[in-house]
Amino acid sequence: MTNSILPKRPSPLNWRTLWGLVFLLSVVWSLSVAGVFQQDLVNEGGWYLVVRFLVAALSPDLSPEFLLLTLDATLKTLAYAVCGTFFCVVIGLAGGVLSTEVWWKSVSFRGSQAPWLVVRAILAVPRAIHELIWGLFFVNIFGLDPLVAVLAIAIPFGAITAKVFSEILDETPRAPLLALLNSGVPTLSAFAYTLIPQAFPNLLSYSFYRLECSIRSAAVLGIIGAGGLGYQIFLSLQSLRYEQMWTLMFALLLLSGGTDFFSGLLRQRLGVPSRLDLNVLNLKQQKLLRERDPVVTFSVLGAVALLIFSFWYVKADFTKLWAPRSAQLLAGVFHDLFPPDVSQLNQMLTLSAQTLAMSILASTAAGLGGILLSFPAARGDKSIQNSKFKIQNSRFLLTRFLLLFARAVPEPIWALIFLFVLFPGILPGAIALAIHNLGILGRLMAEVIENLDERPLRSLKALGATQSQVFLYGILPLTLPRFLAYILYRWEVCIRATVIVGLVGAGGLGRLLTEQLSSFDYKGLLATLIVFLSLTFVVDIISASVRRSLR
């Protein structure tokens, strides 16, 4: 009898099992905090308004006067987004280079990790504060000037872009850079001639994705009085003019859908089909770029023309940035910030629990819905189209439209709609965040499916696997880890976005923050902001730990 060494069966007690149990317990806890296990959640009298709202979609206001107003609001939203994206890319490029490991290893701090870690830590603070809070803060300094919307988009998105750009540059092959550095070329010049050109397609692709995000943020910022589609939608909804609101919503859908289409087309031509994942160009696509693909050239030239138009249309008063009055107001705000008022600490901790519960419910519902809708929303993968998940073109178009509609409508608008039939609390906010993030996750997950490597799936089919087996043993194992990573990323976003639904009465720390800003309670605001940032960083750490355990 020969002894054979069998591989050990993995222990059921591991980090993945632990995180799974924690997730289930956190969902039950979040449902309890949201009051789902209690009565009186639904306001029966609000169903009449919901029916009116839905029926109005069949008869939007198409009067010439209102269409002109809609056009102006659309152009204003687009211009805010373009100007904000321009500055966020500038901030992102500078901050991205300074927060890369390769930069600091190329200059005097050779081998030291401290400088780039310090830069990343500094950029983490503006990244953690939602653009709506930035907008409310700048309103107190600059008034209702278009400059508020531009800065509110540029600062937090610039910090986010810097983080992504640094990851792209650190992932880029370094051999050409090292060759120039060893030849005595200055570090900045070596970067400009090696890493930046190699990473350019990924940098450009992410910049266009950030423009998509900026359009949604510009609509949200309109709610605080910056103008644009968000402001007009908010006014129409509050005044119950649903026909006008649907006209504005269709304009927002057209704007978001057009940006999504051109961004996707550009990514395909650049050979970077995924919005978030780092992509490596193959030889064919590199040849295409060297030949100056007309679509890429047209996109870059169109972006420059749109940028010039946007700065002209916005007419932001940038002189306020260095005006003496702005400096005085800013100094006054900082003077009033300290010391932080911790007298409401117990209330802040209670609201922190509500905020965390809201984000857990939102990201869970958005993740599950995104997974279900991502398969009918995917296209171009022959292995999937030949399986039982084969879809008709009409179903594909309908699913894509639903995802576009879900992510195009700002979260506060969704929250106001659900407040028609639900009593105020974190449940309407959680549902609003879930629907909005469902649209984003469903689209991102569909891209994962579209870009799957078909070779393992073809091998399974060649071995006689059924359609169900191809899905269970081929498609699902390849996509599920990426899906979970995306859901965790969106959880980090959801915890920040609780601020916007708090603005319309959905509870959590967001409502307290907006109340303190509106009443100029800066000492209380600082204390609440510290608690909110601490909660955000805890969520980021947990999310990163779970993602590491899933690899």
Whole-angstrom distance between the N-terminal and C-terminal Cα of the chain? 39
Contact at 8 Å (CB) between 180 and 193? Answer: yes
Half-sphere exposure in the Cβ direction for 443 (13 Å, CA): 29
Q: Considering the entire predicted model, what is its pTM?
A: 0.83
Q: In this predicted model, what pLDDT tens digit does every residue of 43-91 receive, in sequence order?
A: 777 788 888 888 888 888 889 999 999 999 999 999 999 999 999 999 9
Q: How many angstroms separate the Cα of 185 from the Cα of each of 109, 166, 170, 197, 289? A: 17, 21, 19, 16, 26
Assign 3-class secondary structure to 254-273. Answer: HHHHHHHHHHHHHHHHHCCC
What does the alpha-carbon distance between residue 30 and residue 56 come to, in Å, rounded to a whole number? 35
Could you identify the residue written with the tokens 């009409």? 394
Q: How many CB atoms lie within 10 A of CB 464?
A: 7
Structure tokens at 305: 């023309």
Backbone angles phi, psi at 215, to 5 degrees: -65, -45
d(CA 502, CA 499): 5
Q: How many residues are given for the chain?
A: 551
Would you state the structure tokens that stand for residue 399, as one six-digit string? 């699913």
**Distance between CA 244 and CA 255 in Å, rounded?**
17
User: What residues does 42 pair with on adjacent strands?
Assistant: 422
Q: Which of 276, 256, 198 is nearest to 74 (CA)?
A: 256
* Domains along the chain with CATH numbers: 69-327 (1.10.3720.10), 348-550 (1.10.3720.10)
Strand partners, 422: 42
Assigned token pair, 479: 């996509």
Are the beta carbons of 443 and 377 closer than 8 angstroms? yes
Helix-then-strand count for the chain, H and E:
25, 0
* DSSP string for residues in 488-511: HHHHHHHHHHHHHHHTTT--SHHH
Q: Measuring CA to CA, which residue among 496, 493, 348, 498 is closest to residue 430?
A: 498
Instruction: Quickly list DSSP for 284-307.
Output: HHHHHHHTT-HHHHHHHHHHHHHH
What's the average pLDDT block by block, 10 residues per block, for the chain (551 residues)? 56 72 88 78 78 87 91 92 93 88 71 70 83 84 86 92 86 82 82 83 83 87 79 84 90 88 75 56 44 69 88 87 85 81 84 90 92 82 44 76 88 84 84 92 86 76 75 79 86 85 76 79 85 86 79 66
DSSP 53-92: HHHGGGS----HHHHHHHHHHHHHHHHHHHHHHHHHHHHH
Output the pLDDT for position 68: 94
d(CA 202, CA 263): 12
Q: How far is CA 197 from CA 169, 194, 204, in A?
A: 10, 6, 11
Stated as kind and residue range, the H or E segment containing 8 is none
Tokens 């927002």: give the residue. Answer: 252
Task: Look at residues 94, 264, 263 and name the one whose alpha carbon lies nearest to residue 163.
Answer: 94
- Are 434 and 406 within 8 A, CB to CB? no
Mapping DSSP to helix (H, G, I), strand (E, B) and coil, where does residue 422 land?
strand
Q: What letter would DSSP give residue 471?
A: I
Largest CA distance in the chain: 92
Task: Tell me phi and psi for residue 422, to 5 degrees.
Answer: -120, 145
- pLDDT per residue over 249-290, tens digit each? 999 999 988 888 887 777 777 666 665 555 444 434 444 444
What CA–CA distances, in Å, run from 35 to 32, 43, 434, 515?
A: 5, 14, 17, 24
Bond from prior residue into 115 cis (ω within 30 degrees of 0): no
Query: What are the tokens at 277?
Result: 């994942």
8 A C-beta contact, residue 66 and residue 244: yes
Instruction: Write out 314-336 in H/E/C secondary structure.
Output: HCCCHHHHCCHHHHHHHHHHHHH
Q: What does the block give as tokens for 293? A: 């693909």
Measured CA to CA, the distance from residue 153 to residue 78 in angstroms comes to 12
